[in-house]
Amino acid sequence: MQIRWGDMDVLGHVNNARYFTFSESARLAYRDANFPADALPEHQDLILARTGCDFIRQLKHPDNLDLGCRVVKLGRSSIVFEVGMFLEDREELVALSEAITVWFDYAGQTTVPVPDALRSALLDFEPLLEA
């Protein structure tokens, strides 16, 4: 992901709110690549319950980021994601974010259990995941 000039603030570094957008992009890419869409109930998906970020190093234009996303905890209805943000082509961590999401029925406007098909797919993909 390329840092854009508009991502920076008056202090000359990337504004802290942008890190949450970077994290969201990584979570959505993970979801699109690893959730078995054809096996999931209609009108159900993730909803964000809580997010946080540890800011380790400043970013500036024209830095480029590599984003890594993984599921670190799988609950009855919750999925906790961790996103590592690294300077491109280096192993230098610049930020680490966590997002607690819950599986949500948008038609019924209520939290529901993570579907079995998704739970199985995540446990297969994340061998160290604690369910």
- Tell me whether strands 78-87 and 44-55 are parallel, antiparallel or unpaired: unpaired
What is the pLDDT averaged over residues 48-61? 95
Task: Give a yes or no: residue 131 inside a domain.
Answer: no
Q: Which two tokens stand for residue 105?
A: 């029925």
Amino acid at 99: A
pLDDT digits (tens, 9 = 90+) for 82-123: 999 999 878 899 999 999 999 999 999 999 999 999 999 999
Name the residue range of residue 118's domain. 5-125
Task: Give a yes or no: residue 130 inside a domain.
Answer: no
CATH number at residue 110: 3.10.129.10
Number of domain units in the chain:
1
Give the three-class secondary structure for 59. Answer: coil
Of the chain, the percentage scoring pLDDT greater than 90 comes to 79
Task: Give a yes or no: residue 9 inside a domain.
Answer: yes
According to DSSP, residue 16 is labeled: H
Of the chain, the percentage scoring pLDDT greater than 70 comes to 98
What pLDDT, on the 0 to 100 scale, is given for residue 14?
92
pLDDT digits (tens, 9 = 90+) for 13-26: 999 999 999 999 99
Pair 45, 102: CB distance under 8 Å? no
What pLDDT, on the 0 to 100 scale, is given for residue 130?
63
Structure-model confidence comparison of residues 113 and 7, the more confident one: 113
- Global pTM reads 0.91
Task: Give a yes or no: residue 43 inside a domain.
Answer: yes
To 10 degrees, the CA torsion angle through 124, 21, 99, 131?
0
Kindly tell me if the per-residue pLDDT of 129 is higher than 80: no
What pLDDT, on the 0 to 100 scale, is given for residue 27?
97
What pLDDT, on the 0 to 100 scale, is given for residue 128?
73
